[in-house]
Structure 1
């Protein structure tokens, strides 16, 4: 079957299934379970109205349970078991976690993740805020915003390929196609550097890719927040003789502090799950391992589902407090 026809057929079946589900479930509720007739008609109508919202929520709850709750429970189970040679699993308790924390690669991944958490959210948010402020003050600001936001449309793997070319290294007797090495040689460097193999610094070279992508996201959100600042407060500060720096840091930033924190935490969650960039550019070599890459190696290369699942649980535990804080903060904003 042609892919286009298959896609249209899938949409048609999905929409028809949804309509059929809601129609039939309401018919069963109103005509069979709680019919609106007889001496109990009023009570039945009330009962049906109490249950009806759950009929609409059931498909979403079922999907969340199947694709979110079940994988979490199953991953937790796998992290507490171990495969046996004859097939099946054997309960080992916390042995997988003990094995994981005893491996140097795990602590390398933890150290690198902490480094990413310190650098990437801070710089992405700072650059996004700076760009949002500056582009609102120039005539061609919308064009600049479009160009800066453009990397958000590129996948992490695509961005990694682009930046891998930027860091590319050729023998000294050949022309350098990597922009960084070309600049390095132009400004007096003797030999081209293999940037992605230099310990510690290679982590920063990888972080640049994610900062390049996330700055556009931060810019869009913070630009909207800056536009929402009442003009009266800015005009009052100007009349009081405040400088542009004072207006920005003492008037504007405090008023969008909540938005800045939301952007910061959202990028933090992305950083905790970062995998594609490291996998595509270094594959975790040269001391660039991160937790998601470590988990992938254990699950699909070492075929160690126990330790791999334990690493997945660690990532989830690190992400959960930030998600909870974001949800609570969003609820406060709505109130």
Structure 2
């Protein structure tokens, strides 16, 4: 019977894939046919743009605009979404002790992670630049980017693992501490230190991204400027501060902004490490807890709106800088 059930599930999956493939093929044929009928000379006309962008705008409206407006609407209602409560949900965010602690933790993440990741990535990029094993060194620091946030967090949970004194320690850090005569520490349960230990996990992940991007920017520094600085007697330190940094400053800003956006939305690391307990919750996790664990759609929506308000200006700044550089 189990074999028959497995065979039936396999047929369902194959059937679903065939339907998806047929649908995508049909869409591709329709688009190609429209392109042939409308012709290249008519592509500037509004109705031509509407034919091709209309479905995309419709899907964006259904999948992005409507949920956003719905979330904003629910943020002004109670937990069940029945009674209008005005700005009470927003007032709760800035007056409740737990949410204020959550906002403080989020601020720590947003300040520490982008700066630390950028500094580590920049230092690493400068050190390995034009070295014999540069590709290997860059690959090693970039490898954590290939690991999911949950997987990376599990790795670091083994590093931070704690057992009572007298027991065999399975956590790397506590093994080292005990080996030198210290007492094992509760890295993930003692606040506020647990927040910083989790921050290390995200810095470990994002440092590879910063290294790769900044390394490419360093290689694009004009050779003429570097040679002129060397002829003027500039040493390595002067070369870095007066030649390299001014040349790669726009890239540094892009890296910081990109990592800041990712940090504001951090969820997986905190959820896997502590579940938001021990005074370690952050904005995205609290939004999830209120909406899907406490079933309070009003407060969950208010937190979602707050996250949106924080992310969008940074994203617009990033987009503006990219347009300026292109």
Q: Please report the TM-score for the alignment, with normalisation by the length of structure 2.
A: 0.90
Q: Secondary structure at the match of 1:82?
A: coil
Q: Structure 2 vs 1, CA of residues 320 and 48 (structure 1 numbering), >3 Å: closer, same or farther? A: closer
Task: Report the alpha carbon displacement of residue 215 of structure 1 after superposing the two structures with TM.
Answer: 0.3
Q: Structure 2 vs 1, CA of residues 46 and 205 (structure 1 numbering), >3 Å: closer, same or farther? A: closer
Q: Structure 2 vs 1, CA of residues 9 and 242 (structure 1 numbering), >3 Å: closer, same or farther? A: same
2:266 corresponds to which residue? 274
Q: Structure 2 vs 1, CA of residues 105 and 17 (structure 1 numbering), >3 Å: closer, same or farther? A: farther
**Superposition RMSD on alpha carbons, in Å?**
2.2
Task: Report the alpha carbon displacement of residue 21 of structure 1 after superposing the two structures with TM.
Answer: 3.6
Q: Which residue, out of 312, 322, 333, partners 2:314?
A: 322
Say whether 1:115 aligns with 2:124: no
Cα shift readout 1:149-189 (whole Å, capped 9, x = no counterpart): 00001111111100000000123222211011011112220
Task: Report the alpha carbon displacement of residue 7 of structure 1 after superposing the two structures with TM.
Answer: 6.9
Cα distance in 1 for residues equivalent to 2:323 and 2:227: 31
**Residues 72, 305 of structure 2: 8 Å contact kept:** yes
Task: Report the alpha carbon displacement of residue 26 of structure 1 after superposing the two structures with TM.
Answer: 6.1
Cα distance in 2 for residues equivalent to 1:250 and 1:46: 52
1:19 corresponds to which residue? 28
1:42 corresponds to which residue? none
Cα distance in 1 for residues equivalent to 2:299 and 2:82: 13
1:225 corresponds to which residue? 217
Gaps of 5+ in 1: 31-35, 37-44
Task: Report the alpha carbon displacement of residue 9 of structure 1 after superposing the two structures with TM.
Answer: 2.1
Task: Report the alpha carbon displacement of residue 48 of structure 1 after superposing the two structures with TM.
Answer: 8.3
Cα shift readout 1:229-253 (whole Å, capped 9, x = no counterpart): 1111111111111111111111011
1:200 corresponds to which residue? 192
1:291 corresponds to which residue? 283
Cα distance in 1 for residues equivalent to 2:20 and 2:240: 49
Cα distance in 1 for residues equivalent to 2:61 and 2:129: 44
Task: Report the alpha carbon displacement of residue 23 of structure 1 after superposing the two structures with TM.
Answer: 5.0
**Residues 129, 219 of structure 1: 8 Å contact kept:** yes
1:81 corresponds to which residue? 77
Cα distance in 1 for residues equivalent to 2:43 and 2:237: 61
Q: Secondary structure at the match of 2:78?
A: strand
Task: Report the alpha carbon displacement of residue 13 of structure 1 after superposing the two structures with TM.
Answer: 2.4
**Residues 267, 284 of structure 2: 8 Å contact kept:** yes
Q: Secondary structure at the match of 1:91?
A: coil
Q: Which shows bigger deviation, 169-178 or 123-132?
A: 169-178
2:153 corresponds to which residue? 160
What is the aligned residue count?
A: 316
Cα distance in 2 for residues equivalent to 1:99 and 1:262: 34
Cα distance in 2 for residues equivalent to 1:10 and 1:172: 59
**Residues 166, 178 of structure 1: 8 Å contact kept:** yes
Q: Structure 2 vs 1, CA of residues 324 and 47 (structure 1 numbering), >3 Å: closer, same or farther? A: closer
- 1:169-180 to structure 2, matched below 5 A, reads 169-180=162-173
**Residues 26, 52 of structure 1: 8 Å contact kept:** no
Q: Which residue, out of 227, 230, 242, partners 1:235?
A: 227
Q: Please report the TM-score for the alignment, with normalisation by the length of structure 1.
A: 0.88
**Residues 124, 211 of structure 1: 8 Å contact kept:** yes
Cα distance in 1 for residues equivalent to 2:139 and 2:196: 26
Task: Report the alpha carbon displacement of residue 46 of structure 1 after superposing the two structures with TM.
Answer: 5.9
Cα distance in 2 for residues equivalent to 1:46 and 1:197: 64
Q: Secondary structure at the match of 2:163?
A: coil
Q: Which shows bigger deviation, 10-19 or 272-281?
A: 10-19
Task: Report the alpha carbon displacement of residue 129 of structure 1 after superposing the two structures with TM.
Answer: 0.9
Task: Report the alpha carbon displacement of residue 24 of structure 1 after superposing the two structures with TM.
Answer: 6.3
2:6 corresponds to which residue? none
Cα distance in 2 for residues equivalent to 1:161 and 1:136: 32
Q: Secondary structure at the match of 1:173?
A: coil
